[in-house]
Amino acid sequence: MKIAVLGGDGFVGWPTVLHLSDLGHDVHIIDNLSRRWIDTELGVQSLTPMDSIQERCRIWKEVTGRTLKFHLLDLAKEYERLKAWLVEYQPEAIIHFAEQRAAPYSMKTDRHKVYTVNNNVSATHNLLAAVVESGIDPHIVHLGTMGVYGYSSVGAAIPEGYLDVEIKNLAGEKKGLEILYPTRPGSVYHMTKSLDQILFQFYAQNDGLRITDLHQGIVWGTHTEQTRRHEQLINRFDYDGDYGTVLNRFLIQAAIGYPLTVHGTGGQTRAFIHIQDSVRCIELALSDAPQHGDRVKIFNQMTETHRVRDLANMIARLTGAQVMNLPNPRKEAAENDLIVKNDQFLALGLNPITLETGLMSEVVEVAKRYAHRIDRSRVPAVSAWTKDIAATVNHDPEGKRLKSVV
């Protein structure tokens, strides 16, 4: 197929591009490279050294003989260019990763909140409107998040997208109704993903767009089969308090002798998926496209759940690292359960990668190899959800800042 990967320069986008190209698809990358500009804004860099997207594509061609095409385009701001691109290239599938993906970044300041909403919601709506107006019929696959559900639980498994409910009509009769599973976003970022769901629902029912929405867990790991083929194909790896995912951050902290920073009680339960499984799920979703007139197909893209403190203790046993409990910069419950159904991907043939010691050790080894690139001052998570919480945040877990003798 001819596939457009929107946000194909990103953390999940790049390994997905390589995976799909390796399968023989004609892959086009559309990206405005905003994630690289955010690195500059934050004064931090990927743990792993990243070449330009053009150089990455050149190396892939050299290694495999397969061509990747890169198009510099801002989905949120360049609607007419996007529509013209769709008319010209006629992609059969569109993978939509082109959103600001970090909850902490979305909560840093009012400016970051506004940027996240403008970028994410406009990018999604521009894509849907442009597909309708261009007259093409691609399968749209969107990377959402399990976080739209707010990590709360009533003791029942979160279904894959839809919930059957009963309501009483005016005559007092019980009637069945299928609704989107209620969202309870815990950040502005998660709120934009909740809004995406409504946009997808409307365009599927109004214009017959064929859409799959993947509610993904937290991604961990470094390599996929394709990124191992050449050092310059390595994926980006975020360790900072805004973009680093919790398990990867713990493994990096262990590698550099930094305390494993557990915020609050560590009783927050999260869903996880390895980066190799993430790209495999994209492949499986593409093979199971909805038909015209179908509701949006929703998958829970995760393979296991763990409490944060259990992960920290597991890594502490593996590496000898120290665990440190710090005030939580997020506004969330101290403890929660998370029970999730992921039957659809298992039925399609996913053989999940779980938290194996070998794979975790691989991450630690990568971190040790590039430890000289780590700015330890960027490791703490300090973006607070409210002004009151901000006053409690610990900016110096190691206690290394100069202290007054007075």
Whether 145 is catalytic is yes
- How far, CA to CA in Å, does 402 sit from each of 253, 396, 405? 22, 10, 9
Q: Count the Cβ atoms, other than its own, within 10 Å of residue 110.
A: 9
Strands (E), 124-277: 139-145, 162-168, 174-180, 210-216, 218-220, 260-263, 269-274
Among 192, 193, 258, 303, the active-site one is: 193
**Helix or strand run (H / E) with residue 280:** helix 275-286
Whether 113 is catalytic is no
**Rounded to an integer, what distance in angstroms lies between the CA atom of residue 400 and that of residue 204?**
54
* SS3 label, residue 76: coil
**Rounded to an integer, what distance in angstroms lies between the CA atom of residue 14 and that of residue 227?**
9
Among 105, 115, 149, 189, the active-site one is: 189
Exposure string (b/e) for 79-108, b if CB count within 10 Å is 16 or more?
bebbbebbeeeebbbbbbbbbbbbbbbbbb
Alpha carbon of residue 382 to chain centroid: 20
Whether 115 is catalytic is no
Among 145, 222, 269, 303, the active-site one is: 145
Q: 48, 26, 46: which is closest to 36 by C-alpha?
A: 46
**Rounded to an integer, what distance in angstroms lies between the CA atom of residue 278 and that of residue 306?**
18
Angle formed by the axes of helices 275-286 and 13-22, nearest 10° = 60
**Long-range contact pairs involving 223-227 (C-beta distance under 8 Å, separation at least 24):** 223/275, 223/276, 223/362, 224/15, 224/18, 224/19, 224/275, 224/276, 224/279, 225/19, 225/22, 225/276, 226/15, 226/18, 226/19, 226/21, 226/22, 227/14, 227/15, 227/18
Q: Active-site residue numbers?
A: 145, 189, 193
